[in-house]
Structure 1
């Protein structure tokens, strides 16, 4: 029988610890990705919003009072029993809406602003309705978006 040399007879021992080098590589790559993308997530647009003391709007099932603001800032009022909007000034608007609110405190009041009117004008009407006319609920009215781009 042939004698086997010592080199061949020694068996290799199994390595019992985990090789963590690939995990460290993956961790470093992820760290670099997050370091590069994190500053990009904080990009925003500064908007100078008008301020008013408005309250949240709740949905109601009653016939609403609609205040329309034309593109020139003209006010008109539509309510139950009126077929077309009535042109009013700010004092008349406050008086009429105040009467509706006195008759029914839960009457919904909406402001429908023309697309061309400034946001500040519509917001001022909303604020005036809540502050001067005592409207507990005042909301904005809108139309569903059309399929095409807005007309200019």
Structure 2
């Protein structure tokens, strides 16, 4: 015989399931009726001045430097590090957003490329890239 003072340990979950099903039906009915919010973005005009053609610093097999200005044509001019610095300073004075790309022969030591990048960093050139050739 069981004693009458014993507590009941069972939880009746049927009412909770009923409430959850009612909430599910409410969300299923109201979700398609809601309009998604649209964001009106500000309009800007396109820049009338195109980006200047990049300067290409070429590091050859013998670690000599050449400079190619794609805006003036595809002629390479041999330059020393000092000449490169003076040319870059003058170009930065004219166009502060002038991009510079470095193209090095694949047999050139990595240290030479880093040295050229260091020179560009000292001249506060922000847009520096490495030029590669696709296989």
| Common fold: TM-score over 0.5 | yes
Structure-1 separation of matches of 2:132 and 2:121: 19
Match of 1:123 in 2: 114
Q: Which runs of 4+ in 1 moved over 4 A?
A: none
CA contact (8 A) 1:98 1:135 kept: no
User: Which of residues 66, 72, 82 is equivalent to 1:91?
Assistant: 82
Unaligned runs of 5+ in 2: 1-49
Residues 56-75 of structure 1 mapped to structure 2, 5 A cutoff: 61-75=51-65
Q: Secondary structure at the match of 2:84?
A: helix
Q: Secondary structure at the match of 2:58?
A: strand
CA contact (8 A) 1:98 1:134 kept: no
User: Which of residues 98, 104, 120 is equivalent to 1:113?
Assistant: 104
Match of 2:42 in 1: none
Aligned residues: 85
Q: CA RMSD in A?
A: 1.5
Structure-1 separation of matches of 2:55 and 2:93: 13
Unaligned runs of 5+ in 1: 1-59, 146-152
Structure-2 separation of matches of 1:115 and 1:97: 24
